[in-house]
Amino acid sequence: MSAAEGTSKPAVLVTGGAGYVGSHVCKALDRAGFLPVVYDNLATGHRWAVKWGPLEEGDVRDSGRLETVLRRYRATAVLHFAALSLVGASAKQPLDYYDVNVNGALSLAFAMQASGLRRLVFSSTCAVYGMPATMPISEDAPTLPVNVYGRTKLAAENLFSDLARAGTLDVVMLRYFNAAGADRDGEIGEAHDPESHLIPLAIQAALGEGKPLSLFGTDYPTPDGTCLRDYIHVEDLADAHLKALQLLETTSGAHAFNLGTGIGVSVRDVLAAVGKLAGKPVPVIESPRREGDPPQLYASPAKAERALGWKAAETHIESMVGSAINWHRKARSAA
C-alpha cells in the first residue's frame, strides 16, 4: 500500500466522514493504522466530528476536486458515506436526492477511475429491499425500494456493480439496517438537525429537551402493534468497514452484505429502554402510521458472518441506547 504524504499510514478517503456513521468509522480507521482523509461539504456533518485526520471541504459532485484530493494523499481506498438520507425529505426533493446520491456516485466513480483507484466501500441501506415479504432479509431478496431515497441508493449500487462487472472497480456494498448508539468514549455521536430518527428523538423527549415523541402507528401486525427494526450499534458498523477493506485486499468484483443483528426490536421496546436509562419515561403521543414505514425489517447477517468475518458484538438495545444517552449528556454539558 502506498502511504499518505508526511505519514507512514495508508490514506483512505472518507466521503461524508463528518457525519454520524462516517465519523465513527474514521475513529476505527485511525485505531487500525489508517489515515482517514475526510471529504465532506458539511451539509449535515460537523467540523467537530473530524478528529482523526484532515478535512478536505468539497462536494462529491465535484469530480475534479475529488481526483485532486485522491492523488494528493495517494489514497488506497474510498469509503463513500456522503449522501442525503432522509426518507420523508426524499419524496419532497427527488432532484436533490438523485443529484447527491446518484450524480455523486458517478462523480466519485470518474474520479477513482482517473486516479487509478479500484477499492470502494459503499454505504447502502436496507431501504433497497422496500417491503420484503419474508423475514429475516437475506441479500438475495428482491430489491424493490418503496421510496426515492432507497431508489437512489439502489441506482448507486447498480452503477458500482456494473463497473465491477466491467472489471474497473472492486466494491463492497454494506446495507446497514438502523444505525444506533454512539462512540463508547463519548467523543462523537448522532447529531442531526433537524433530527428524525427514533432514538435521539426519544432521548430528547425523555430529558424534557424536545417535544413528546410521536409514536408512528400502534396497529401494525407485530407483537406489540409497533414497527420492528434491526438496530445495529455504530461501532459494529465501523468494524464491518475495516473488514470490508480487508476483503478488498484479496477479492475483486462487487459484494453486498446486510449489516444488522438479526433481531427485530419494536418501537415500544426502544422507548422502554430509553425511559429506563434516562430515569424518566418517554412522553409519547400515539399517532397515525408514517407513510412508507414497513411493518418489520430485520436482517439475516449470515452472509456477512460467513464471507466478511463480521458479526455484531452488541445485540442489546439497552446498551445501544445507553451509549447514545451517555454521548447526549456529555455533548449537552459541553455546550
Ligand X SMILES: NC(=O)c1ccc[n+]([C@@H]2O[C@H](COP(=O)([O-])OP(=O)(O)OC[C@H]3O[C@@H](n4cnc5c(N)ncnc54)[C@H](O)[C@@H]3O)[C@@H](O)[C@H]2O)c1
Ligand Y SMILES: O=c1ccn([C@@H]2O[C@H](COP(=O)(O)OP(=O)(O)O[C@H]3O[C@H](CO)[C@H](O)[C@H](O)[C@H]3O)[C@@H](O)[C@H]2O)c(=O)[nH]1
List contacts with ligand Y (CB under 6 A). 85, 87, 125-127, 178, 196-198, 201, 213-216, 227, 229, 267, 290, 293
Of the residues 97, 149, 176, 298, which is catalytic? 149
97 catalytically annotated? no
Tally helices (H) and strands (E) across the chain: 11, 13
Separation of alpha carbons 260 and 263, rounded Å: 8
Residue for grid cell 459503499: 122
CA distance 94 to 72: 34
Q: Give yes or no for residue 247 binding ligand X (CB under 6 A).
A: no
Instruction: Say whether residue 91 binds ligand X (CB under 6 A).
Output: no
At 158, the amino acid letter reads N
- The correct pick among 34, 52, 73, 81 for binding ligand X (CB under 6 A) is 81
Residue 16 interacts with which of ligand Y, ligand X, none, CB < 5 to 8 Å by class: ligand X
CA 27 to CA 29: how far, in whole Å?
Answer: 5
Q: Which stretch binds ligand X (CB under 6 A): 78-86, 87-95, 222-230, 250-258?
A: 78-86
Phi/psi of residue 150, each to 5°? -60, -35
**Torsion-angle region of 316 (φ positive above 0: left; ψ -120 to 50: alpha; else: beta):** beta
Residue 300 contacts ligand X per CB under 6 A: no
Candidate segments 12-20, 89-97, 139-147, 282-290, binder of ligand X by CB under 6 A: 12-20
Which residues 108-137 are close enough to bind ligand X by CB under 6 A? Answer: 123, 125
Q: Which stretch binds ligand X (CB under 6 A): 139-147, 176-184, 217-225, 307-315?
A: 176-184
The option from ligand X, ligand Y, none interacting with 198 (CB < 5 to 8 A, set by class) reads ligand Y
Query: What is the sign of the dihedral through the CA atoms of 324, 325, 330 and 334?
Result: positive
Taking contact as CB under 6 A, which single stretch among the options 13-21, 133-141, 203-211, 289-297 is the one that binds ligand X? 13-21
Q: What is the per-residue DSSP string for 149-203? A: HHHHHHHHHHHHHHHHHTTS-EEEEEEE-EEE---TTSS-----SS---HHHHHH
The catalytic site residues sit at: 149
Residues that bind ligand X (CB under 6 A): 15-16, 18-22, 40-45, 59-61, 81-83, 85, 100, 104, 123, 125, 176, 178-179
